[in-house]
Amino acid sequence: MNQNYFAQMSKFVLAATSVAIFSPIASAYATLGFSTTVAQISDHSTGQQLLADKKVETRSRTTTIERQTITTESRNSTVSAKGKKTGFSLAIWEPSGNLSEVIARISVKSKGGKGYLKERFLGDYKYKIKQKAKFAKGLKASDRIVVRLYDVQNRFIGYSEFECLSANTTVNLVLSAKPTEYQVVRTVYGVDADQNGTIDAGTTTYDYFTQVSGQRVSFLSSSQTFQGSQFQVEGLSKIAGTSVYPVSFTQGEYALVRQSFVSVFSSDLAEALQATPGSLVQVIEVSDNSSYDISQMLMNYRQVGMSRALQVGFSDVSTDYWAKDFIAELASMEILEGFPDGTFRPDAPVTRAQFAAMLQKAFTKGKIRRAIAFKDISTQYWAYNAISEVYQMGFLNAVIGKGFNPSQSLSRLDILVALARGLNYQSSGSTDTILSVYSDATTIRSEYRSLIAALTQRGIVVNYPNVNLLNVERVATRSEVSALLYQALSSTGEVANISSQYVVGQQQQVAVEEQTETSTEGAKPRRQCNQGIGNGAEGCDPGNSSPHGGSNDEGGRTPGKK
């Protein structure tokens, strides 16, 4: 069960990576791939990003592959509770010694609601056999990671997929002696909470094989159909007679071992996932003890690394617009959407129902109170489920008379208070001192001052155009809500930091990791209808509503009045 080989390997350090200019799309790569789901990741790399200078034509291709139905035995895992930081380390092996280097193309499908988001590209990494690299930050447990393997001649040689766990995960991919001919990969992984390179005692070791044949990727029930000994690595557990999979791989709608076919190259697959390694995106050379920040890589590769079906650029959001990156990242995470005419309407107000829909897709956290029946919300209302969920999570309250006032717009104070309460953030130190950064601090009502201070400490407050002017009574715009919501996600460690001159105290944020980890559980985006904020699937607003009026969650106060 334990991987003693790794026990003496040193801890990981940051490897430099930076963002380069995105080049045009590359030619489609016709070798085999696999649509995946995201594993929880915590990554730490300063970014040199890596788009190839070479310009090539792109050819989209849609291929369907069948996957045989397999019966597998799966055991539940007892996940170690120690080590709150999630992430994974990935090592690649080829015991015969016939292969010295391999390219690992890594991508992710984040878990969102009852399904998974569209696959996003995380980079091409050139490994020397036996090397290990760490990927951390920006993802969560139950996400899935896909690894497509290529040799240095860019020939496809194997495929694996795994689900990261609630603590740090160590992952080993073992190739066959002749991987270009025999495209089988053994995947061995489990919880490594103390990050010493071995699977923790008392936890499950997941051990299974994937096989590529033509346009088919199969998750095998055992190694009995081939010579399993060629996949044995010193320090790894003995090959099990029956494959051991995570439960989600064998049960439910998104099980992998029972599906008969999957799409290899769908028409909306990210450009970088169809390109030949090195043609569109520069291959990253993995060095010993490399460490990569997944949340940063998601941002770096946003233009070429996400599904073509997602819109992240809008006709009314210019390339130098102050909130462009906040808007684009939330759109890429499927937390918000534009309107059918291709606009985002950044200056439009946000209604309570719209904000509830955004919160529902952005956060997964425990419910702190029971649902109530809002007298002005029917069960058929497009945002009924979102409103009910975010109320139970503590983000938004009822207004006077147990109503919700779904169509009323929110002030900036309303947004800030909702985020602070829902995330259970509290300030440390002198509230007055923290708030002294704002020239209009005296306008903050006494009952909200500690909440605003808590957000300020965590770098969540974004003020445009004057960073020192809070403007709590002003009606919040879609662009302002996007910035505040993204910064709230960033404070949980779920997304990369966006540098902006309008983020208050970005360089002096107070470290509050322990409180953050216990009070939040990460992003939970879910695809819904194109209403511009992300409404419920049932009979949703088409995106042309005009928010008006004003209220917040403290009794229907109209913005602009105390």
Question: Alpha carbon 457 to chain centroid distance?
Answer: 24
Q: Is residue 314 part of a domain?
A: no
- The predicted-structure confidence for 83-96, as pLDDT tens digits, reads as follows 346 789 999 999 98
Q: Is residue 278 part of a domain?
A: yes
- Identify which of 269, 174, 271 has the alpha carbon closest to the alpha carbon of residue 223: 174
Q: Is residue 258 part of a domain?
A: yes
Q: What residue numbers bound the domain in which 24 lies?
A: 4-305
Q: Tell whether 380 and 262 lie within a shared domain.
A: no
Q: Tell whether 350 and 292 lie within a shared domain.
A: no
In sequence order, what E strands does 500-562 have?
none
Q: Is residue 396 part of a domain?
A: yes
Q: Tell whether 228 and 359 lie within a shared domain.
A: no
Write down the pLDDT at residue 19: 32
Q: Is residue 534 part of a domain?
A: no
Order across the sheet with 156-163: list the strands. 156-163, 144-150, 101-109, 120-128, 284-285
Q: Tell whether 174 and 294 lie within a shared domain.
A: yes
Q: Tell whether 339 and 484 lie within a shared domain.
A: yes
Write down the pLDDT at residue 479: 98
| Cβ atoms 60, 290 nearer than 8 A | no
Q: How far is CA 393 from CA 171, 356, 419, in A?
A: 34, 11, 11
Write down the pLDDT at residue 262: 57
Write down the pLDDT at residue 263: 57
Q: Tell whether 294 and 378 lie within a shared domain.
A: no
Q: Tell whether 440 and 471 lie within a shared domain.
A: yes
Collect the ranges in the chain with pLDDT lower than 50: 1-50, 53-84, 507-562
Number of domains in the chain: 2
Q: Tell whether 127 and 156 lie within a shared domain.
A: yes
Q: Tell whether 232 and 347 lie within a shared domain.
A: no
Strands 120-128, 284-285: pairing kind: parallel
Q: Who contacts 460 (Cβ-Cβ below 8 Å, separation ≥6)? A: 416, 419, 484, 487, 488, 490, 491
Q: What is the DSSP letter of 441?
A: G
- The predicted-structure confidence for 364-405, as pLDDT tens digits, reads as follows 888 999 999 999 999 999 999 999 999 999 999 998 778 999
| Cβ atoms 477, 346 nearer than 8 A | yes
Alpha-carbon dihedral sign for residues 160, 35, 358, 485: positive
Q: Tell whether 235 and 340 lie within a shared domain.
A: no
Q: Is residue 218 part of a domain?
A: yes
Write down the pLDDT at residue 260: 57
Q: Tell whether 356 and 287 lie within a shared domain.
A: no
Write down the pLDDT at residue 470: 97
- Identify which of 96, 59, 52 has the alpha carbon closest to the alpha carbon of residue 230: 96
The domain boundary, picked from 271, 305, 339, lies at 305
Spatial separation of the C-alpha atoms in residues 3 and 498, rounded to whole Å = 37
| Cβ atoms 80, 285 nearer than 8 A | no
Write down the pLDDT at residue 51: 58
Q: Tell whether 286 and 338 lie within a shared domain.
A: no
Q: Is residue 77 part of a domain?
A: yes
Q: Is residue 531 part of a domain?
A: no
